[in-house]
Amino acid sequence: MKRIGQVMYLHKDAYDEYEKRHAELWPEMKEALKEHGANNYSIYLNKETGQTFAYLEVPDVEAYNKIAETDICKKWWKYMKPLMETNEDDSPVATDLKEVFHLD
């Protein structure tokens, strides 16, 4: 299993709405995440900076990354765009983190 860590960047007035939208995650989006191998997925928010830290585990990173090609993922990105920093394709601006320590 591969572990993925990323930082994304919320607008400071969007914290509550971001949390609400994830609490009401569309069933189709949840299904797409599972179909692309996402497991043990958590997102944490630093309210002082607006940074989120996302952690998930996947069996195959390349297979997981193909979720970006799905219509439901693109729809989710568009839905979330007003709440966070995004790229031209509406995907969230994300910084991939390098794992430097892990303890089982």
The DSSP code sequence of 61-102 is HHHHHGGGGSHHHHHHHHHHGGGB-B-TTSPBPEEE------
Give the total number of structural domains in the chain.
1
How large is the average pLDDT for residues 27-42?
98
Q: Is residue 56 part of a domain?
A: yes
Question: Does residue 102 carry a catalytic annotation?
Answer: no
* Domain carrying residue 75: 2-97
Closest CA to 84 of 1, 7, 2: 7
Taking the CA of residue 4 as centre, how many other CA atoms within 13 Å lie in the half-sphere pointing to its CB? Answer: 23
pLDDT at 30: 98
pLDDT at 102: 96
What DSSP state is assigned to residue 90? S
pLDDT at 62: 97
Q: Is residue 29 part of a domain?
A: yes
How large is the average pLDDT for residues 9-31?
98
Q: Please give the share of the chain, as a percent, with pLDDT higher than 70.
A: 100
How large is the average pLDDT for residues 44-62?
98
pLDDT at 22: 98
Give the global pTM: 0.94
pLDDT at 24: 98
Which entry of 11, 22, 36, 102 is annotated as an active-site residue? 22
Q: Is residue 104 part of a domain?
A: no
Q: Is residue 103 part of a domain?
A: no
